[in-house]
């Protein structure tokens, strides 16, 4: 193993609490395999300290950062430039530092699109999507799907008001194709048969509440592509029910890896070893 030196390029992950992040394993494995003098470090920082820590670190040898909960929106204030997609999503999960200047990106949506393409040769263009959720992941997926030509997007969240304001905001920023609907009641049952892709962007079904499912399983039907962004466990109850109902299924690990692959390209200008990234997250993921 190569030890860090003063020349080593650093990459950091900001978050709080960081817990068991898979990103250090994913990136450091590829840096090592490719013989690159880079090191990826988890940096747990509280919201009140974010500005001080960020301003200090960009004076060091950092090529960039990842950003996770709860800093993805606040960090926008510290960017010199913001990529148009991150501006629409209003959240940054990747930062590239060049010449002391910070440019913010959001690679979550690209991770989702690439995962669909590589695993099912599927695209969102011309498709009707039902997206469950109203948080950061739902916003990233809705924004990129609208930008990439989805025909219609239904946004369905437990707190309907959040879905309504997100739909109104993204309709104005992208294309006017997004409608908010309640999680219970007839609207969901009415729109389901016309959907091509269902995405769970809620945390329902995540460890340790693995018996939970975000939608009535009787609404699932053959041919529907069901994507669960939850990756712990790999096979959620939603995916198990969807498989039984004859749906095509996709878990969240691919999105995690492909958003990381895009960040890797931005920091290094080098093509990552995606298979090694998958192997690293498989090994580092908590076992059931």
Ligand X SMILES: NC(=O)c1ccc[n+]([C@@H]2O[C@H](COP(=O)([O-])OP(=O)(O)OC[C@H]3O[C@@H](n4cnc5c(N)ncnc54)[C@H](OP(=O)(O)O)[C@@H]3O)[C@@H](O)[C@H]2O)c1
Residues annotated as part of the active site: 72
- For CA atoms 126, 127, 131, 136, give the dihedral sign: negative
Q: Does 135 bind ligand X (CB under 6 A)?
A: yes
Q: Does 230 bind ligand X (CB under 6 A)?
A: yes
Which residues 6+ apart lie within 8 Å of 229 measured at CB?
A: 112, 137, 141, 199, 200, 201, 252, 255
Residue 82: strand pairing partners: 104
- Name the 3-class secondary structure at 224: coil
Max CA pair span of the chain = 62
One character per residue 86-125, x = contact with ligand X (rule: CB under 6 A)? ----------------------x--x--------------
CA–CA separation, 43 vs 103, rounded Å? 19
Q: Which is nearer to ligand X, 147 or 155 (CB)?
A: 155
Q: Does 138 bind ligand X (CB under 6 A)?
A: yes
Report the residue from 150, 156, 201, 238 that binds ligand X according to the rule CB under 6 A.
Answer: 201
Q: Which residue is nearest to ligand X (CB)?
A: 135
Q: Which is nearer to ligand X, 9 or 29 (CB)?
A: 29
Q: Which is nearer to ligand X, 46 or 81 (CB)?
A: 46
Q: Which is nearer to ligand X, 231 or 267 (CB)?
A: 231
Report the residue from 159, 176, 189, 235 that binds ligand X according to the rule CB under 6 A.
Answer: 159
Strands in the chain per DSSP E = 9-15, 38-44, 62-67, 81-82, 94-98, 101-105, 128-132, 152-157, 178-182, 197-200, 225-228, 248-250
Q: Does 202 bind ligand X (CB under 6 A)?
A: yes
- The residues binding ligand X (CB under 6 A) are 108, 111, 133-138, 157-159, 162, 201-204, 206, 229-231, 252, 255-256, 259
């Amino acid at each position: 193993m190569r030890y860090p030196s003063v020349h080593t390029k650093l990459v950091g992950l900001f978050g709080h609490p960081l817990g068991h992040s898979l990103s250090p394993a994913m990136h450091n494995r590829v840096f090592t395999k490719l013989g690159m003098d880079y090191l990826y470090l988890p940096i747990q920082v509280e919201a009140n300290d974010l500005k001080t820590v960020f301003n200090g670190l960009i004076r060091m040898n950092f090529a960039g950062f990842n950003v996770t909960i709860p800093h993805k929106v606040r960090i926008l204030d510290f960017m010199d430039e913001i990529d148009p997609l991150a501006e629409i999503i209003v959240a940054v999960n990747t930062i590239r530092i060049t010449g002391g200047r910070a440019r913010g990106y959001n690679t979550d949506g690209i991770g989702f699109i690439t995962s669909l393409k590589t695993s099912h040769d599927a695209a969102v263009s011309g498709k009707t999507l039902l997206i469950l959720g109203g948080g950061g992941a739902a916003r990233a997926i809705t924004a990129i799907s609208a930008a990439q030509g989805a025909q219609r997007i239904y946004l369905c969240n437990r707190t309907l008001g959040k879905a309504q304001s997100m739909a109104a905001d993204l309709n104005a920023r992208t294309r006017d194709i997004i409608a908010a609907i309640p999680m219970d009641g007839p609207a969901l049952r009415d729109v389901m048969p016309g959907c091509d892709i269902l995405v769970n962007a809620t945390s329902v079904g995540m460890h340790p509440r693995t018996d939970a499912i975000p939608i009535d399983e009787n609404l699932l039907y053959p041919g529907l592509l069901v994507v669960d962004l939850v990756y712990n466990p790999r096979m959620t109850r939603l995916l198990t029910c969807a498989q039984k109902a004859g749906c095509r299924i996709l878990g969240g690990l691919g999105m995690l890896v492909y958003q990381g692959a895009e960040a890797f390209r931005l920091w290094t200008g080098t093509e990552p070893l995606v298979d090694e990234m998958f192997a690293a997250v498989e090994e580092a993921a908590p076992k059931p």
